Amino acid sequence: MKPLTYLSTAMLMLLLSCKAETNIEKIEETKHFFSWDSATVYFLLTDRFHRGKSKSFRQQEFKETAVLRGFEGGNIAGVTEKINKDYFNHLGVDAIWLSPFVEQNYEATDEGTGVTYAYHGYWTRDWTALEPNFGNTDELKEMIQSAHQKGIRIVMDAVLNHTGPVTPTDFKWPDEWVRTDPACNFQDYKGTTSCTLVENLPDILTESQNEVELPKFLVEKWKKEGRYVREVNELNTFFERTNHPRTPSYYIVKWLTDYIKEYGINAFRVDTTKHADEYIWADLKKEAEYSFEYFKEQNPNYQFGDEAFFMVGEVYGYETSKGKNYNFGDKTVNYFNYGYDALINFEFKNDTKADYESLFTKYNTILQDKEQYGGFINYLQSHDDSYAFDVSRTQAIKTANALLLSPGAIQIYYGDESARPLQIEGAVGDANLRSNMNWKDIAQDSNTQKILNHWRKLGLFRKKHKRSLALGKHQQLSDKPYYFSRSNQEEKVIIGLELEEKLKKVVLEDKTLEHSKWRDSYSNTEVEVINGVLSFESEFHTVLLERIR
């Protein structure tokens, strides 16, 4: 196992000094407006983010793997450390989406990209247990509570439609539970839902109405771990309460939603949404809502007691601008009718190749018509998208500008804010996208620090002005230099991007703004509107203006 390194005291002091020099302001998270429609979500792979102190690990010998295809040492305790050190707060993060943390396959397998262990979390062995390499239940509880205390919500990556690959150590689930062929051809509805995503990745029979018994290997495992009676009693209670049949899907619905009842998880990001019967998602959402309310009743001081459970789906290839319906070729499905509040938008990364004004105008229009388009979350890089916006990491500043200043909800992929490399020598396929978080660069490299500070300034400004910046009306003020405003009934913000001149001048047509006072959060400069113009000097290429009186 190759551990992720800790930051030394000297490195931490350097980080803190860099933060002070760039006027990063700390904000009280719980005092700020929140809506999932404008959320800033931070997606991380637990194994690749940071290694914290933990007594939990697998007791087994590991085979040699292909580059970046084994466990690298990141864990839940490492996420907690970064939460407590305000790493996420300084980016203006509202929610952390963690890769799946349930127990994974023990054995490695090769899908054509080299020997690989389940470091990513998407090869489930047991939905009712945690992956030892990621942590234990106490550590998971501490991480979630730490996040909640900081005003940060937790998004669980819910995998319902497949198990891990079959290996000599990892038994295949019974035929009554899974199919092992045919492989999906993605040509139509059946060729996308009633099939395996890839060879040797057993697909849960989500459409089955046939009741099934627990797999023998799972029964034996639970008995060995001393929790068989408890697990069976809980299942009996669940099926008696819900009246659901004991089909494969409903077992897994119960197991997934238990994490909400136990820990107060705020949301699901549902993996491979279009590769399962859509009706099961409505029942997953219903049970998630029940479990969320149950947790609130048991925890009356819960920080998010007035919020509803949120569910976002990964419908691979879905494009928000085409409306709510996803077209399989022979059938369309509106997943918003089956429990989803939002879908991940796969077209934003392509839209960002255009100019800022075209990008912002498009998503401002979409945002204002939720009835037609539904909820969405935009991203530019992700864990399995080789067509990401900036694979070469040469446009870290534009990535920040486009993503953090875009209308609607957004997803930061871990290391976007630090230009973490996405092209690794010797790595094959999606392993390139899953490199270790570059903490050393953050501590020692001045260019990385400059990039991170830019992300922090924009992230905190977005956090502070969600109602206007992320949900308000977009209006271009000038083309060259590029200035625009975002406003709602309560406030207006003015932003300038890629400004070349030291002298900044913003012409305002609204006469009521004469003599109003503004602050540029980027340079920490105060300025007054005189003769319809905001004029001041700044060495930076970005302006973030907020009215102060």
Is pLDDT above 50 for 10?
Answer: no
DSSP E strands, 432-489 = 473-478, 482-487
pLDDT in tens, 58-80: 989 999 999 999 999 999 999 99
CA separation for the pair 128, 508 (Å, rounded) = 59
pLDDT band at 549 (very low <50, low <70, confident <90, very high): confident
Q: Are 320 and 359 in contact (CB under 8 A)?
A: no
Q: What is the mean pLDDT of the chain?
A: 94
* Residue tagged 């029979």 (tokens): 205
Question: What is the pLDDT at residue 31?
Answer: 66
Taking the model in full, what pTM does it have? 0.94
Which DSSP string do the residues of 201-237 spell out, in sequence order?
A: -PEE-TT-----PPPHHHHHHHHHHT-HHHHHHHHHH
Q: How far apart are the first and last CA of the chain?
A: 56
List of domains in the chain:
9-14+41-464 (3.20.20.80), 475-547 (2.60.40.1180)
Is pLDDT above 90 for 502?
Answer: yes
CA separation for the pair 404, 309 (Å, rounded) = 24
pLDDT in tens, 200-251: 999 999 999 999 999 999 999 999 999 999 999 999 999 999 999 999 999 9
pLDDT band at 126 (very low <50, low <70, confident <90, very high): very high
Per-residue pLDDT averaged across 288-302, rounded? Answer: 97
pLDDT band at 171 (very low <50, low <70, confident <90, very high): confident
pLDDT band at 11 (very low <50, low <70, confident <90, very high): very low
CA separation for the pair 237, 173 (Å, rounded) = 24
CA separation for the pair 228, 178 (Å, rounded) = 22
Question: What is the pLDDT at residue 14?
Answer: 37
Is pLDDT above 70 for 1?
Answer: no
Q: Are 79 and 50 in contact (CB under 8 A)?
A: yes
Q: Are 372 and 323 in contact (CB under 8 A)?
A: yes
Question: What is the pLDDT at residue 400?
Answer: 98
Give the 3-state DSSP-derived string for 243-273, with helices as H, strands as E and coil as C. CCCCCHHHHHHHHHHHHHHHHCCCEEEECCH
- Angle (CA) 222 225 229, round 5°: 50
Per-residue pLDDT averaged across 9-36, rounded? Answer: 50
Per-residue pLDDT averaged across 91-120, rounded? Answer: 97
- Both tokens assigned to 535: 């004029």
Measuring CA to CA, which residue among 185, 166, 46, 170 is closest to residue 111?
166
Question: What is the pLDDT at residue 200?
Answer: 94
